[in-house]
Structure formats: C-alpha cells, structure tokens
Amino acid sequence: MKDISSTAIGRRILLNNNQRGEIVFINQNDLSKPLIRLDENASFLDLSEKNDLYIAEIL
C-alpha cells in the first residue's frame, strides 16, 4: 500500500470547496486525508483535521 500511496504525492487536486492544491504528504493511517499545499496562498491544509473537506477530483 505504501508504494501506491507514494504515487499520489505531487498530484494536483481539487477539493470539494473548489480550492486547488497539490498532495505533499500521505497520512498512512488515513490515506484519503493527505496533507495539501494550497495554490491560493501556498499554505498547508491537513485534511485529517477537516471533516468537511475532501478531494473531489484528481487533476
């Protein structure tokens, strides 16, 4: 599973709130909730801390 999740790092994504970003780290305990670097202000967003946000699309 580690090999599969590591291929997601660097992928461009669209969140359900229409923010765009890039996957920078995969949480091995919750693969669907990675750390994202947002395009807007280059800040980081940990999806494991945001129950209302999720990846809507991989670009």
Average pLDDT over residues 39-59: 93
Per the structure, the count of domains in the chain is: 1
Average pLDDT over residues 26-43: 90
Give the model's pLDDT for residue 17: 97
Contact 35, 44 (CB under 8 A): yes
Mean pLDDT for the chain overall:
90
Report pTM: 0.84
- Retrieve residue 51's tokens: 């129950």
Task: Give yes or no for residue 27 having a pLDDT over 60.
Answer: yes
Range of the domain at 14: 2-58
Contact 33, 41 (CB under 8 A): no
Task: Give yes or no for residue 16 having a pLDDT over 80.
Answer: yes
